[in-house]
Structure 1
Amino acid sequence: MGRSLYSCLKTRDQSILVAAQFQVTWERSRLQDRRSSAAPAAPAPSRSSLCQNLDPSPALSQFADPLPVPLSINLSDSLHQHLTLGAYKIMQKLHRDLSATPMYAFGASQLSASVPGPTLLATQHVPAYVRWENHIDDPTHILSVDKSIHWANPTHGGVPIVVHLHGGEVDSASDGHPDAWFTYKGDTGSSFSSLNHTYINEQLPMALWYHDHTIGITRLNVVAGLSGMYIITSQAEGEILPVGLPLVIQDKQFYEDGTINFPEIGIIPSYHENWCPEYYGDTMLANGKIWPYFKVLPQAYRFRILNACNARFLILSLDNPDVYFYQIGTDGGLLADPLNLTSITMAPAERVDVVIDFSGLANGASVILNNSGPTPFPSGDIYQMPPATYAIVKFIVDEEDGYTEGILDADYMSKMNFTSVLEEEKAMSEEDVVGSRFLEVVEWDDNNHMPLIFTLDNRTWEDAVVQTPIEGTTEIWELMNLRINAHPIHIHLVQFQVLNQQSFVGNSTLLSTCSFDIAYGEEGTCFIEAPREPYAYQRGWKDTVITWPATVTRVLIRFTQRDGSAFAFDPSKGPGYAWHCHIVDHEDNVMMRPFQVTPNNTLAALTRNTASTRLYV
């Protein structure tokens, strides 16, 4: 293993400066070792699957198919509290005029497996036990595996999987550690312990999701279909709100025969045979259907929206000015103060909990849920977006055949007081902070500004653990994005709150002449503004946060349950946890780091390399 660049740097400002140079040769021996063990490059395919220059999908009519609502499984009833779900290869019809698509899907059987997988309904304080099995017997993946990057590489071939409950407070053996993968033939990763996962469900009501998390091929398995929603409810919430309807949004690209068009030739084939920095499909799907329609009654509905795209950021809006989003929750559950919004920005993996009220519309009226998020985000040109990626789903008011679940009472606005649901929550305070970690989000390019590899804190997944927070303590993580595009950062195990954001000079030359230890307004500082409050849609409890370009995003993390009490399990045991970019194409190319929770009785102090006592300036 090559030596971490971070160990060669003497100060944080030196670290930032080196990371900002962009035109580097990054541990070429490591990359060369991986390339030498990879299979010879495949000949160019007859149909274009070149990174970010894929053949367009076949022309398909919009709003030809009804929106499916995934099957729900109640994990709190006696029949399903011990549930077995498997990963299967299936053929799924994604559009009326497109041949069935080969996919990987979760389900209780191959017959019931679907994309997305079943929505798992859990009840707060009622544990659930899920056994995850791998029934995919393909000798190789249906999508091209790039063996030049660090990946599972099972001895006997096949398709490795491991399931992560995204946003879940679970022990690390049940968290879906990237190295805990397993195959149909029985190969396992170094951190594998069991197929049986325990979800204690001590969290407040919120919408989580489950998805594959296998080292090096998460992007492939998620595109192929291995994901679904997991919703925690409670009696108190149920007295105010319906569970709501899941709305899982993805983008994909297709060949004429219905198969998924995923890059087979990488952006730099001499380094990475088929890895591509970001996968953007030209076709939008909701709940596994391409541009569906959904018949609604003239009433208000609760939707649990998930951005399940690999890399696409969404800016959601409704095309009727009389209809808007009433946002009542985020990744981490209900908001104390709901928001009226005309648009919502969502990074990959983020969830929003919204009410959309159709009660003022006439029978037959329609409302289209649109997306205007540029690619890449936010620097991409919106006018270069494929026009088809604007529309996602059409809602049609139908007084006779409208969907009858997920509806709120007519006087729902008078009930939007969530005190009874949030009473177990304990607010975090900066006064409790024991230290802050200054962590860089970095892209390493070749001499032509083409991305080779992505890192966090100038380290990769294989480097030693240096983040070792003590259970029960509160920290500030200062996430510094040195690039021109946004990165969504996900931290396992905990829900956190965005404290503030602060922009700095984005020019690498200027960075060499300033310091991040000097406060804004003083000579020599790198900051160009005072710390600002997070955007409205980033408030509340979260597990995934957008780190904006040339910006430090500070998040407040308490390594406890939301009520401030110790976890119901020992988070220091097992293989540990991860934090990573949730553009999964970046995550797979080592933009992921491990962290290990230190037991509460440990007296070891935080060191300079893992945390300083410096707070933001």
Structure 2
Amino acid sequence: MGTNPRRTEAPALRFSHASHLKLACLLGVLYSLSVIQAQDVHSRCGNLTPSPTLTPFVQPLPIPVEIDISTGSQLTLGAYKISQSVHPDLPNTTFYGYGTSQDTATSPGPTLNARRNVASFIRFENHITDAEHILTVDKTLHRATPANGGVPMSVHLHGADAEGKFDGHPEAWFTAAGDKGPTFIATNNTYPNEQPASLLWYHDHTLGYTRLNVVSGLAGLYFIRGGSGEPGSLPEGRYEIPLVIQDKQFYPNGSINFPDLGSPLSPAHPQWCPDYFGDTILVNGKAWPFLDVVGAVYRFRILNAANARAFTLSFSDSRLQFVQIGTDGGYMWAPQLLQNLTMAPAYRVDVLVDFSSVPVGTTVYLNNTAPAPFPDGDPINSPPSTRHVMKFNVVQSIPGLPAQSVVIPTSIGSAPSTAAWIDSAVYRNVTLDVVLPPDLTFLLNKNHWDDPVTETPKLYTTEIWDIIHLIPGGIHPIHIHLINFLVLHQQAFDLTRFNGGLCSLLLSYPESLSCYTEAPQPPDATQVGWKDTVVVYPGTRLRILMNFAPRDWPQLHVRSHHVPRLRMALSQPGPRGP
């Protein structure tokens, strides 16, 4: 007796206790604002006019154009102002996009394919001639200030092990008019690609503009492929699908709805919005697309390119699961079988999905259940439209699609032995702090972005950092430039008792005067493997391990896409590149 296809539905270091109460109350004010139904002029942070109603799953998933950058020739990649459709029922949207010309520029930009141990050479150019940004710039923020106006840009290859001068420093910006930031060196960049095969991404990184430029479209994928350690018989070609997931909000005329009025949390910055959440989910630049698949194993290379929204992805049909084989820094030594996949901003994952688990004719939805802000959230930031990501139609065949022979790996190499590293490591504490309104500012070890260098790791040494989250509220993704790290463990503590001076973080659990509420816990599923970005939860100490290699000046910053004046400067003495 045959099996009937089944269709599944989409599912509709110390603040005073009083200071934290004040911040909590202000957070409550921000997130209790109700969504208004019409808005004539202004768009207020946390209170955006909903996007027009758009029918989901009516357009196929586009695949970004691929460019081979392993040839030894220099690629010139420019930033341009473009017009692009995100949905057939919405007028075209104005974006900034990357491309080799005005005609080829897109958002997201082209996918760049590099080979391991083969250097790539990329010249970035700024062809955005707008006198003013397409989104509102808060001129009270610490930001790039081009003398002749315009839209500054600085491109960061996120996850790259490269010289610091090619890292896209926030103050290495430049404009179409020729203005340059104080740390600008050159537009010609060299990436050695001497790191394991992995998915990186390139995006704008300009001081005070990053959140604006990324929302506006300046982001794209960068693959390092080949080399030893690559498992054989993985899906490739049309069975390997990149997914760049973002959230945005739109006006009826198709333009991006981004706040031009700030939040009550920061009256000193009248147009700055600490967290931007959109009600429309884009995948590869299209709103809620669909993809036809056959009953075979597919490989999805997924990037969360949202400014603030985390995604917890799952399939509407429980017969489908994720086999995660890679993370930010490359392949995992032990693939994970997951029903749900949580991704904070800037996370990349490499997963296999076996669609032979469901019969031909099945419709499956990729859904999102993460609250916003993560992990507690507020329903105002997660309307029903944010619960859907895209749709898969399982079909009998697709013209021109070749047969494949795939082996799903059960192990990929050996787990790193950390015992010797831990024995010789230098320990540091890093605190995530906040200054309360009127000038809401997030700090690392109570330092601002432009404060002097405070940390000096030494080459060829191992360090263990305890990152201590002292801010009430949502998660903080941490990205450390030019280096990968391992999460050793995390440990929750009582933030209220700590702020009241009733306990200590220097005492171990379960001592009565210790602030810790549990023994150290192993990394969760999202923290396993080599990482360059990791989430730290409020009231949590996260311990990471790093081996410092001979590259220039790592930086540590938190949610750089949308938080001003936030970085801890590091200096790494040693040899410099040419």
Q: TM-score, normalised by structure 2?
A: 0.90
Corresponding residue for 1:10? Answer: none
CA distance in 2, matches of 1:84, 1:54: 37
Corresponding residue for 1:608? Answer: none
Match of 1:550 among 539, 553, 577: 539
Provide, for residues 62-113 of structure 1, a one-character-per-residue CA deviation record: whole Å limited to 9, x for no partner. Answer: 00111000011111135xx411100000000111111110000001111111
Corresponding residue for 1:295? Answer: 292
Corresponding residue for 2:234? Answer: 241
Preserved contact between residue 326 and residue 356 of structure 1 (Cα < 8 Å): yes
% identical aligned pairs: 44
Preserved contact between residue 22 and residue 444 of structure 1 (Cα < 8 Å): no
Preserved contact between residue 560 and residue 566 of structure 2 (Cα < 8 Å): no
Match of 1:230 among 218, 222, 242: 222
Corresponding residue for 2:465? Answer: 477
CA distance in 1, matches of 2:506, 2:398: 62
Alpha-carbon offset, residue 460 of structure 1:
1.0
CA gap 1:391/1:24 in 2 versus in 1, 3 angstroms: closer
Corresponding residue for 1:563? Answer: none
CA gap 1:84/1:435 in 2 versus in 1, 3 angstroms: same
Alpha-carbon offset, residue 549 of structure 1:
1.2
Preserved contact between residue 245 and residue 304 of structure 2 (Cα < 8 Å): yes
Preserved contact between residue 170 and residue 493 of structure 1 (Cα < 8 Å): yes
Alpha-carbon offset, residue 596 of structure 1:
1.5
Provide, for residues 568-588 of structure 1, a one-character-per-residue CA deviation record: whole Å limited to 9, x for no partner. Answer: xxx34xxx33211136212xx
CA distance in 2, matches of 1:19, 1:288: 44
Corresponding residue for 1:456? Answer: 444
Alpha-carbon offset, residue 174 of structure 1:
0.3
CA gap 1:261/1:508 in 2 versus in 1, 3 angstroms: farther
Corresponding residue for 1:9? Answer: none
Secondary structure, counterpart of 1:173 in structure 2: helix
Structure 1 alignment gaps of length 5 or more: 1-14, 26-43, 561-566, 602-617
Task: Tell me, yes or no, if structure 1 residue 50 matches structure 2 residue 25.
Answer: no
Preserved contact between residue 297 and residue 404 of structure 1 (Cα < 8 Å): no
Preserved contact between residue 428 and residue 558 of structure 1 (Cα < 8 Å): no
Alpha-carbon offset, residue 383 of structure 1:
8.1
Structure 2 alignment gaps of length 5 or more: 1-12, 24-37
Q: 5 Å matches for 1:519-558?
A: 519-558=508-547
Preserved contact between residue 117 and residue 229 of structure 1 (Cα < 8 Å): yes
* Aligned residue type for 1:262: F
CA distance in 1, matches of 2:426, 2:515: 21
Match of 1:134 among 126, 132, 135: 126
Alpha-carbon offset, residue 381 of structure 1:
3.7
Alpha-carbon offset, residue 361 of structure 1:
2.4
CA distance in 2, matches of 1:220, 1:20: 33
Q: TM-score, normalised by structure 1?
A: 0.84
Provide, for residues 446-488 of structure 1, a one-character-per-residue CA deviation record: whole Å limited to 9, x for no partner. Answer: 38xxx81211111110111102111111111111111231111
How big is the alpha-carbon RMSD for the aligned residues of Structure 1 and Structure 2?
A: 2.4
- Between 261-270 and 379-388, report the one with greater CA deviation: 379-388
Alpha-carbon offset, residue 592 of structure 1:
2.1
Preserved contact between residue 295 and residue 402 of structure 1 (Cα < 8 Å): no
CA distance in 2, matches of 1:182, 1:403: 45
Match of 2:573 among 572, 577, 598: 598
Match of 1:65 among 59, 70, 84: 59
Alpha-carbon offset, residue 526 of structure 1:
1.3
Secondary structure, counterpart of 1:222 in structure 2: helix
Instruction: Tell me the number of residue pairs that the alignment of Structure 1 and Structure 2 aligns.
Output: 544
Corresponding residue for 1:16? Answer: 14
* Aligned residue type for 2:572: V
Preserved contact between residue 113 and residue 222 of structure 2 (Cα < 8 Å): yes
Corresponding residue for 1:254? Answer: 250
- Between 56-65 and 481-490, report the one with greater CA deviation: 481-490
Preserved contact between residue 16 and residue 499 of structure 2 (Cα < 8 Å): no
Corresponding residue for 1:335? Answer: 332
CA distance in 1, matches of 2:295, 2:279: 32
Match of 1:358 among 355, 359, 366: 355
Task: Tell me, yes or no, if structure 1 residue 487 matches structure 2 residue 476.
Answer: yes
Alpha-carbon offset, residue 525 of structure 1:
1.2
Task: Tell me, yes or no, if structure 1 residue 158 matches structure 2 residue 150.
Answer: yes
* Aligned residue type for 2:559: H
CA distance in 1, matches of 2:486, 2:359: 40
CA gap 1:524/1:145 in 2 versus in 1, 3 angstroms: same
Alpha-carbon offset, residue 47 of structure 1:
3.4
Secondary structure, counterpart of 2:495 in structure 1: coil
Corresponding residue for 2:29? Answer: none
CA gap 1:115/1:403 in 2 versus in 1, 3 angstroms: farther
Task: Tell me, yes or no, if structure 1 residue 198 matches structure 2 residue 186.
Answer: no
